[in-house]
Structure 1
Amino acid sequence: MVKEVLQHFGVSPDMNLTCPLCNMGSESIDHLFILCSWSWKIWTSCMGWWEIHSCSSSSLQEWSLIGDGLCLSKKSLRARRSMFMVVVWTVREARNQIVFKNQVVHADQILDLIRFRVA
Structure 2
Amino acid sequence: MVDSDICRLCDSAKETVDHLFAGCSVADKVWSGVASWCKVHRFFGFSIRDLVEFHNIVALSKVKKEVFQGIIFIACWRIWKARNELIYENKPVIVEDIIEDVKVLGFLWYCNRPKLQRVSWVDWCSFNLM
Q: Same fold (TM over 0.5)?
A: yes
**Alpha-carbon distance in 2 for matches of 1:73, 1:56:** 21
Calculate the TM-score normalised by the size of structure 1.
0.80
Shift of 1:55: 2.5
**Alpha-carbon distance in 2 for matches of 1:85, 1:29:** 14
Percent of counterpart pairs with the same letter? 24
2:44 matched to 1:49? Answer: no
2:60 matched to 1:33? Answer: no
Q: Unmatched 5+ residue regions in structure 1?
A: 1-11
AA aligned opposite 2:92: V
**Alpha-carbon distance in 2 for matches of 1:71, 1:16:** 40
Moved more, 46-55 or 57-66: 46-55
Query: Which runs of structure 2 are paired with 1:21-100 in the superposition (5 Å)?
Result: 21-70=9-58, 72-100=60-88
The SS at the match of 1:86 is: helix
Q: Which portions of structure 1, spanning 4 or more consecutive aligned residues, are displaced by more than 6 angstroms?
A: none
Work out the number of aligned pairs and report it: 106
Which residue does 1:102 correspond to in 2?
90
Calculate the TM-score normalised by the size of structure 2.
0.74
What is the RMSD computed on CA atoms of the aligned residues?
1.7
**Alpha-carbon distance in 2 for matches of 1:60, 1:97:** 21
> 1:52-85 CA deviation, whole Å, 9 max, x = no partner?
2233431110111112134643321210111011
